């Protein structure tokens, strides 16, 4: 292979590698899509590492996850924890809990009644 062809190949290949590295750095393996397939709107959602004593902040903040709607959930805590508990609070006050979800392996999670 000539030096000119090699240089052309490298110049085409480097931007692709840089784009893939940037995309990989932007996403966390634990990020997931949360689906509400319950018949009620979800007012609050809490996600905490399994075994924690507190739930922490409502990740919906002021938003509502209406029945049939989905939302992207992104982790940015710098942790490498994979297993989490999730609590969804319905508009009628019911707490829908799920335990021991491995978000390193799960990319979609559905809230059911």
Q: Mind listing the pLDDT tens digit for each residue in 68-84?
A: 999 999 988 888 999 99
Give the chain's length. Answer: 113
Q: What is the pLDDT of residue 25?
A: 54
* Distances from the Cα of 18 to the Cα of 11, 15, 25, 31, 44, angstroms: 11, 5, 11, 22, 38
Residue 49: is its pLDDT beyond 90?
yes
Closest alpha carbon to 36 in 107, 99, 113:
113
Confidence (pTM) = 0.74
pLDDT at 13: 46
pLDDT, the chain, mean: 83
The domain defined by 29-111 folds into Immunoglobulin-like (2.60.40)
Instruction: Find the mean pLDDT for residues 8-31.
Output: 55
What pLDDT is recorded for position 42?
Answer: 97
For the chain, domain boundaries: 29-111
- Are 13 and 59 contacting, i.e. CB atoms less than 8 angstroms apart? no
């Amino acid at each position: 292979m000539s030096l000119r062809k090699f240089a052309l190949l490298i110049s085409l290949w480097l931007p692709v590698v840089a784009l893939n590295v940037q995309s990989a750095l932007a996403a966390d393996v634990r990020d997931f899509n949360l689906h509400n397939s319950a018949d009620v709107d979800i007012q609050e959602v809490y996600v905490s590492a399994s075994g924690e004593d507190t739930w922490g902040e409502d990740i919906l903040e002021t938003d509502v996850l209406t029945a049939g709607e989905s939302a992207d959930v992104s982790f940015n805590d710098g942790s490498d924890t994979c297993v989490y508990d999730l609590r969804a609070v319905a508009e009628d006050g019911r707490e829908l809990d799920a335990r021991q979800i491995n978000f390193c392996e799960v990319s979609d999670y559905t809230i059911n009644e």
